[in-house]
Structure 1
Amino acid sequence: MGENRLIQGRYRLLDLIGRGGMGEVWRARDESLGRQVAVKCLKPLGPQHDPSLTRVVRERFRREARVAAALSHRGVTVVHDFGEDDGVLHLVMELLDGRDLSRLLEDAEGHPLPVDEVIDIAEQVAAALAYTHRQGVVHRDLKPANIVRLADGTVKICDFGIARLGHDIGFTARLTGTGVAMGTPHYMSPEQIAGTEVDQRSDLYSLGCVLYEIATGTPPFDLDDAWAILVGHRDTPPGPPRVRRPELPAPFERIVLDLLAKRPEDRPYDADEVGRRLAAARAAAGYVPTVVTTWPPAGGAPVRETRLPSWTRGMTTGHKAVGAGPHPAPADPGAVLTGAWTLPAATGAGPALPTRPSPDAVAALTARHHEGLALARRGRWARAREIHLAVAAERAALLGPDHPDTLASRYEAAFTLSRTGRAAAALRAYSGVAEARERVLGPDHPDTLAARQETAYVLGRLGRHFEAHQTYTAVLAARLRVMGPDHADTLRCRHNLALNLSRLGRLEDAHRMALDVAAARARVLGPDHPDTLVTRFEVAYTLGQSGRWEEALRTYREVAEARARTLGPDHPDTLAARYEAGISLGRLGRSADALRVYRDLVEDRTRAQGAAHPDTLRARHGVGVNLGRLGRWEEALAEARDVCAQRERVLGPDHPDTLVSRREIAVALGWLGRWTAALTEYGRVAAARERVLGPDHPDTLASRNDEAHCLEQLGRGAEAVALYRRVAVFRQRQAAGDH
């Protein structure tokens, strides 16, 4: 597609207004009628598709498009035309002047929409669904991005029939070998997850998910891992919306929870019934605030709120070491503020805290805590950190400095520091949380162990791998004692320990442990579970570090294929495995093959994640490195400079990735014989690493070695020798400390 292209000899494409997994949406001009329209161009079917499938998809497209075009309701986007042009299927729709609900939530920066707007949107969507269901049409992919609120307040549903078409073409990911189509996991009904036939009640479940999110700011099962989300939809009752937002009317909450019933027969009969109940909720005079649970309850027995099964909390590919155990875990994004809380007498705490803080104040802090979590999910780490720090201070004043919710906010603030490359500050923050949790909850409490495990992770980021090893070993011993060898958190700790062993140079030990963990995860979770594949990814890493690059390449490719199968071809973890396969190719001297891999990755990551996403920039960095290996140094230098400039803008001048790009600039300058300019760049890298990581960090010392090499090339031998000696002294001290 391109600007000014004429579709069907009638619709002139003017500018691109959206791009997604199914294709592109263009603002266009209907040359026959002189009006502006939206043209949705579906991705062309490539040669990898069977010709018979292509014919089936074209016929299905025409059938679905005719159905969509036959719909006539103020709450449904009008389809004017459809067809095929140069092999590209397209729909011509009315051009909407408004924003979809996903964008409205983003604009609100984690805050839910006003209650009256939520109920108004709910009534309009229910009316539109009631109409379409009477026509025998089921949407199948109702989500905030498919619901648009116009400037005049009208709400319209988009993309009827497109979701099923996408499933046929294969654009949607699939979950394991069960044949379950993973549309948008946050909004899928249990029957969709099970792969059974769906009817209008599946749309009602998705509507419940949408209303839950716009009313509270988060979906009902708000986890990073698609598997855990799907398990939540299938097995776990959602938390009441008014726990997150007490001002919601009780009748509205009841409607949402009824829509989210696991069995279709337990949901409202149809959308008309939903509309009638919403109208009654709007007319409700008021509401009674939800009572906040106390911690611990009067009898001393722990309260177990309804939440995801504990084992699903291990279903994550990230580093965040959230614990699970016999007590509610305040660090969990789904946790509820506990209100009153009394320090155990054994702690020798100071003056007694208020035993029952204001429920309104507690609820307000809950909402801000979730706002911080929502911002972090969108990658807005600095703003999230500000909110978590502020909430931590206010919780300390209201609930006490050692209250679990106060510590939960401090924990999240530490996590944002870690994600923004401020490892030293994150270490101090995690250490403080771990000490407080140990004092209050005990050394073996899952939340204490979670903070200690994060401490170990940050120690590794700082190059203090021996200390990280000691911490991981202690945490693992406690997890084995408390949770057993097959608990998800125990396996995660063993995984991290294997990773750290490889950083200590104990590659055989690391490889052996990673193999053991991969086997255990395959047994407990399944061979294609994301966590199993994460550990197989680490197996490949240890193979590469041992110089066994052919085996590493084969393992990375197997992991990439399995992830594409279970998570989807555009999932970040799938793309990460392809990236590492490119590294393996480069190490094997197959730079031309590596260059092709990275260029494909740049295209795919740009489409899936955006041109400025750190992972996209990492793939572009790989392009530059392999251009250099092929001797194309001028191209490599231009690529490195552009990537460095973008990383500096997106990540900051001192971020590790920015500094890696700056070093690549210096490498290219050196190969081009421009040693003075190279020395300047190496010096900037070394100074930044010393400032952020410290003078004795391995990366800082490597940069000082680079500087010394440049000085040698410039004939400044005495300065080079002095710098080499300085580096040697630091390394000798490190070696002595490690022993």
Structure 2
Amino acid sequence: MAVVRERRLPSLTLDLPGGNRTCLPLPPSIPTAPAAAAATTTSEQHRITDFEKLEVLGHGNGGTVYKARHRRTSALYALKLIQVADLTARRQATREVEILRSAADHPSIIRCHGVVSLASGDIAVLLDLMDAGSLESLLRRRGGAPLPEPALAEIARQALLGLSHLHNHQIAHRDIKPSNLLINAAGEIKIADFGVSKIVRRSLDPCVSYVGTCAYMSPERFDPVEHGGGYDGYAGDVWGLGLTVMEMGTGRFPLVPEGERANWAGLMWAICFGEPPTIPDSSDASPELRDFVARCLEREAGQRWTVAQLLGHPFVAGAEASESKRALTELLRFDSVTTDSRESGS
């Protein structure tokens, strides 16, 4: 079996919802020496000293993301500092920036506002600030309460539009999961974190790689020999979206029994050999939602629906767009009020 032959998987991460994560402290301020202060992008004349780091927002592939404020304009951004320790890391960072610049002209893709090369060799990327966090953090704030279906349909629709844009530009994201789908108070969903994405330059360009988050990997990503003979990055994105929609619709990650801790071997077995994940019979999920998830989570990649097909699925296309958008924004408004009340102690 292919997965046995690839036991050394240094880039796999077991990143499950609700896991204990240690937030690293803010690193020391970037030196304001002339060399550092003069480091700018070729397109945007930003300097790292133009920004004040306010708080850590999260940790992505190869970097830490901060909420940052422009000192002169007071505009708020997400500032991703990508550590470039060696040539491989530099190539990955370069690829991420290339993808951001080539595919970010879409409302469902996080926008890159500029790139700063630091004197240390690291790279700072200036991105949209999504003030409601990620879908993962939204579900956590809700205490695992499932999202209502109209809001879930809007999330799926926007994510699919973003994936359609990426796939039309021959880009496979390869790490679709709740923490990489960001959201703002206006109800906009944006795909983020392209650290392990790949530009598929040829129609048969192999996309096999054990990078990303193993909890959301498709069966053929683990074992391409047994599941169709190869890895299709586009179909892998659909699998990740299916798991994400199912998780947001049920309130918990579907591949691990409730109350049990996940481990790499158990996840690999569940993905490759277990029954395809389905919404529990006890759930009041609609037939449309159940079928949408089933189409995303076909074990064989060739049988999985494409993004274009899923955009026409009744769960997405049959939903009233204005009602779904309103349901999502109302959910976020309630979430914001609840969070503010909790933080104020009232």
Q: TM-score if structure 1 supplies the norm length?
A: 0.33
Tell me how far apart the structure 2 counterparts of residues 33 and 55 of structure 1 sit (CA, whole Å). 35
* Number of corresponding residues: 259
- The answer to whether the 8 A contact 1:41-1:88 is kept is yes
Three-state SS of the structure 2 residue aligned to 1:41 is: strand
Aligned AA for 1:263?
Answer: E
1:109 CA drift (Å):
1.1
Structure 1 residue aligned with 2:141? 107
- The answer to whether the 8 A contact 1:37-1:93 is kept is yes
Tell me how far apart the structure 2 counterparts of residues 83 and 267 of structure 1 sit (CA, whole Å). 40
Aligned AA for 1:127?
Answer: L
- The answer to whether the 8 A contact 2:82-2:93 is kept is no
Structure 2 residue aligned with 1:228? 266
The question of 1:250 aligning with 2:278 is answered: no
- 1:683-694 equivalence runs, <5 A: none
CA 1:98/1:4 → structure 2, altered by over 3 Å: closer, same or farther?
A: farther
Unpaired runs of 5+ residues, structure 1, are 46-53, 166-178, 284-739
Query: 1:596-654 deviations in whole A, cap 9, x for unaligned?
Result: xxxxxxxxxxxxxxxxxxxxxxxxxxxxxxxxxxxxxxxxxxxxxxxxxxxxxxxxxxx
Aligned AA for 2:69?
Answer: R
Matched-pair identity in %: 22
Tell me how far apart the structure 2 counterparts of residues 34 and 111 of structure 1 sit (CA, whole Å). 35
- The answer to whether the 8 A contact 2:108-2:188 is kept is yes
1:137 CA drift (Å):
1.1
Three-state SS of the structure 2 residue aligned to 1:40 is: strand
Structure 2 residue aligned with 1:48? none
Structure 1 residue aligned with 2:316? 279
Query: 1:291-316 deviations in whole A, cap 9, x for unaligned?
Result: xxxxxxxxxxxxxxxxxxxxxxxxxx
Tell me how far apart the structure 2 counterparts of residues 184 and 147 of structure 1 sit (CA, whole Å). 14
Which residue, out of 67, 75, 80, partners 1:40? Answer: 80
Aligned AA for 1:25?
Answer: V
Query: 1:496-544 deviations in whole A, cap 9, x for unaligned?
Result: xxxxxxxxxxxxxxxxxxxxxxxxxxxxxxxxxxxxxxxxxxxxxxxxx
Query: 1:473-501 deviations in whole A, cap 9, x for unaligned?
Result: xxxxxxxxxxxxxxxxxxxxxxxxxxxxx
Structure possessing the higher relative contact order (Cα contacts under 8 Å, 6 or more residues apart) = 2
The question of 1:55 aligning with 2:83 is answered: no
Three-state SS of the structure 2 residue aligned to 1:240 is: coil
Structure 2 residue aligned with 1:489? none
- The answer to whether the 8 A contact 2:156-2:316 is kept is no
- The answer to whether the 8 A contact 2:92-2:196 is kept is no
Tell me how far apart the structure 1 counterparts of residues 92 and 99 of structure 2 sit (CA, whole Å). 11
Query: 1:662-696 deviations in whole A, cap 9, x for unaligned?
Result: xxxxxxxxxxxxxxxxxxxxxxxxxxxxxxxxxxx
- The answer to whether the 8 A contact 1:221-1:238 is kept is no
Structure 1 residue aligned with 2:221? 192
Tell me how far apart the structure 2 counterparts of residues 66 and 245 of structure 1 sit (CA, whole Å). 42
Structure 2 residue aligned with 1:652? none
1:63 CA drift (Å):
3.0
- 1:500-579 equivalence runs, <5 A: none
- The answer to whether the 8 A contact 1:16-1:27 is kept is yes
1:4 CA drift (Å):
7.3
1:29 CA drift (Å):
3.4
Which residue, out of 84, 87, 106, partners 2:117? Answer: 84
Three-state SS of the structure 1 residue aligned to 2:66 is: strand
CA 1:232/1:280 → structure 2, altered by over 3 Å: closer, same or farther?
A: same
Structure 1 residue aligned with 2:301? 264
1:203 CA drift (Å):
0.2
The question of 1:15 aligning with 2:48 is answered: no
Tell me how far apart the structure 1 counterparts of residues 294 and 156 of structure 2 sit (CA, whole Å). 14
Which residue, out of 166, 173, 183, partners 2:212? Answer: 183
1:275 CA drift (Å):
1.4
Q: Which has the higher strand share?
A: 2
Unpaired runs of 5+ residues, structure 2, are 1-26, 40-46, 199-207, 225-229, 321-346
- The answer to whether the 8 A contact 1:186-1:209 is kept is no
Aligned AA for 1:93?
Answer: L
- The answer to whether the 8 A contact 2:157-2:316 is kept is yes
- The answer to whether the 8 A contact 1:180-1:194 is kept is no
- The answer to whether the 8 A contact 1:44-1:87 is kept is yes
Tell me how far apart the structure 2 counterparts of residues 56 and 105 of structure 1 sit (CA, whole Å). 34
- 1:292-303 equivalence runs, <5 A: none
Tell me how far apart the structure 2 counterparts of residues 238 and 244 of structure 1 sit (CA, whole Å). 17
Three-state SS of the structure 2 residue aligned to 1:163 is: coil
Structure 1 residue aligned with 2:6? none
CA 1:109/1:34 → structure 2, altered by over 3 Å: closer, same or farther?
A: closer
Structure 2 residue aligned with 1:157? 191
1:265 CA drift (Å):
0.7
1:5 CA drift (Å):
5.9
- 1:260-659 equivalence runs, <5 A: 260-268=297-305, 270-277=306-313, 278-282=315-319
Q: TM-score if structure 2 supplies the norm length?
A: 0.68
Tell me how far apart the structure 1 counterparts of residues 74 and 31 of structure 2 sit (CA, whole Å). 16
- The answer to whether the 8 A contact 1:25-1:40 is kept is yes
- The answer to whether the 8 A contact 1:41-1:90 is kept is yes
Three-state SS of the structure 1 residue aligned to 2:182 is: strand
> How large is the RMSD of aligned CA atoms in angstroms?
2.5
Query: 1:445-489 deviations in whole A, cap 9, x for unaligned?
Result: xxxxxxxxxxxxxxxxxxxxxxxxxxxxxxxxxxxxxxxxxxxxx
Three-state SS of the structure 1 residue aligned to 2:172 is: coil
